[in-house]
Amino acid sequence: MQLIPAIDLRQGRVVRLQQGDYDRETRYDDDPVALAQRYQAAGAELIHIVDLDSARDGGEANLGVIGNICRGVDIAVQTGGGVRSLDDLRARLDAGAQRVVIGSLCVREPDTVAGWLDQIGPDAIVAGLDVLADGRGGWTPKAAGWTESGALELFALLARLSDAGLKHLLCTDIERDGMFAGPSIELYRTLVERHPGIRTQASGGIGSEADLEQAAQSGVDGCIVGRALLEGRVHLEAIQRWSR
């Protein structure tokens, strides 16, 4: 399993939100480019960047900073937030990102994303699905800052995207995001079992290196770690341990 450091951007600054709530923001003093370089020096092979301003309002709010990060490191970058059109996707690839995470549009318009997988290629696209347990053993994908529910249950949606060639999935259990509650192990085990051909990234809940051990046991290909790295709950040395 690969540890993937995350950098969340708001107005050009490094921040973290609790459960996606813009009113529950923690700001960090780190310069985003310097932070990415520090993660690279610690052994990271991929960095995950979220443009929170664009995720909420659309546009390219932090695209310049993302481009600076891409030019400032020699490792792969994946980025998401606010990708609502093919032009948005291409702008992020042109900025230097290797892969672009598509979230709400996967939930709202899976056929559109299926077309992009064919047009742009599956290596450049990550389905970023934020999900909530439905109380019946299933998972509901959410969109628009978790305010909308998708028409398709998680595994029905993944079946559609998998048929279109999806190779990369980033899945977040909303209830665990930013809460240090540990990873959603059963969710990830089921994802890996049902879609072994998709490279799944776990996200949400990592608060310690023991949580990383649990995530690895689920069989996921990668694990996103944001706040826990920023606050020293997971040490930089863990990046090298969980790199490959």
The residues assigned a catalytic role are 8, 130
Of 235, 190, 239, 185, nearest to 214 by C-alpha is 185
Instruction: Kindly state the tokens that stand for 139.
Output: 């998972």
Rounded Cα gap, residues 141 and 169, in angstroms: 13
> Which residues, in sequence order, are CB contacts of 200 under 8 Å at separation 6+?
169, 170, 171, 188, 191, 192, 220, 221, 222
Scanning the structure block, which residue is given the tokens 């799944």? 200
